[in-house]
Amino acid sequence: MENPATNSHKKGLLAGFILLIALSAGFIVLVSILPFGGGSSSEKIASLGKDKIGVVEVFGAIMTSEETVKQIKEYANDKSIKAIIIRIDSPGGAVAPSQEIHDAILAARQKKKVVASMATLGASGGYYIAVAADKIICNPGTLTGSIGVIMNLMNVQELMGKIGVQPMVVKSGEFKDTGSAFRPMTEREKKVVQDMIDDVYGQFVTAVAKGRNMTEEKVRVLADGRVYTGNQAKNNGMVDALGGMEEAVKLTAQLAGISGEPALVRHVEKMLWLKEIMSEKMTGKFDWLLNEVAVHKPGVYYLWSMN
């Protein structure tokens, strides 16, 4: 016959285990609905009765587009949101993601007004995104422009020779290893790469010309890769107004016919506070380094880089 004390101990363990599961489940439910770190749903609840403007943030190097495009579409389809601000602080990035975000903004404009607001930097791909908006506003000291395309390559042939490494390549065609770091480019390869760069550059020029209602000839005069201050950009017709986020909100509200102070709705990743506790916040301190590593992947970029 089982010892009563042992039986009581087992029941206590089982009760404790059930209580632990219940508390864990309750904690998960609680943190999923409470506004820890903010969230679009919690901000909407807090701003009931106010007209809303959705804010999409494009910060850092643009290497992917999925999340940004998703947010733009969400705000475009949300009838409670009257307009959208694209808040940009970016040196640009990969060509395709920049184009996908640009196209998502154009699509959103079919439903509501979109304003691009630049912070410290809105260069190259950052500017490519901005020109899709109805209006662009930036600070007088914002760095913008850098209309152009870049591909970073290197040649380590001499270094390989010094350490006794002899690369060997077997390829299916003349241009299969174009851009190899182990040998200089041939003149024919340079021509192929330059033609590709010129084509992607032309796409940038066309986007700016359409977005800013300029001729392509005028855009090409501005599009030699240089950056401009906000003041210079305003004088050149590259932006519409000067000001920070507060002025961007006022301009957006005016365009959307909003009276009174609108509520700003931002998307914040759920459980962000928990990820920060688990050192994601510390990782963020090195985002500049991660961006530099990312943008040196093979490819062509709408990117302002001083390297």
Instruction: Supply the pLDDT for residue 26.
Output: 63
Residue 89: inside a domain, yes or no? yes
Q: How far apart are alpha carbons 86 and 60 in whole angstroms?
A: 14
- C-alpha to C-alpha distance for 191 and 186, rounded to whole angstroms: 9
Q: Which residue has the higher pLDDT, 291 or 265?
A: 265
**DSSP result, 223-258:** -SS-EEEHHHHHHTTS-SEE--HHHHHHHHHHHHT-
Q: How many residues are recorded in the chain?
A: 307
What is the domain-level CATH number for residue 279? 3.90.226.10
pLDDT of res. 24:
66
Residue 232's Cβ-count burial label (10 Å; 0-12, 13-18, 19+) is middle
| Domain membership flag for residue 97 | yes
User: What are the phi and psi torsion angles at 114 (to 5°)?
Assistant: -130, 130
Question: What domain range is 290 assigned to?
Answer: 40-150+182-303
Show the CA angle centred on residue 132, arms to residues 76 and 81, nearest 5°: 20
Residue 65 has pLDDT above 70, yes or no: yes
Residue tagged active-site, from 40, 90, 124, 146 = 124
**DSSP one-letter code for 3:** -
Q: Quickly tell me which residue has 């395709």 as its tokens.
A: 96
Domain count, the chain: 1
Question: In whole numbers, what is the pLDDT of the chain averaged over residues?
Answer: 83
205 in any annotated domain:
yes
Output DSSP code: residue 193. H
Pinpoint the alpha helices (H) of 34-163.
40-46, 66-77, 95-108, 125-130, 157-162
Q: Considering the candidates 10, 171, 176, 281, report the single residue annotated as catalytic.
A: 176
pLDDT for 278 equals: 41
In a domain, 14, yes or no: no
In a domain, 297, yes or no: yes
Q: Tell me which DSSP letter residue 278 carries.
A: I
The torsion angles phi and psi of 55, rounded to 5 degrees, stand at -115, 120
**C-beta of residue 101 within 8 angstroms of C-beta of residue 68:** yes
The string of pLDDT tens digits covering residues 10-56 is 555 566 667 667 666 665 555 444 444 444 443 444 455 579 999 99
Q: Is residue 264 part of a domain?
A: yes
Residue that is written with structure tokens 């969400």 in the block: 74
Q: What pTM, to 2 d.p., does this model score? A: 0.78
67: tokens are 């999340």
pLDDT tier, 274 (very low <50, low <70, confident <90, very high otherwise): very low
124 catalytically annotated? yes
Who wins on pLDDT, 287 or 110?
Answer: 110
Residue 8 designated active-site: no
Report if residue 158 sits inside a domain: no
Which residue intervals of the chain are DSSP H helices? 4-33, 40-46, 66-77, 95-108, 125-130, 157-162, 187-212, 216-222, 230-235, 245-256, 272-275, 281-284, 287-294
32 found inside a domain? no
259 φ, ψ to 5°? -105, 140
pLDDT by residue (tens digit) across 157-212?
Answer: 888 888 888 888 898 999 898 888 888 999 999 999 999 999 999 999 999 999 99
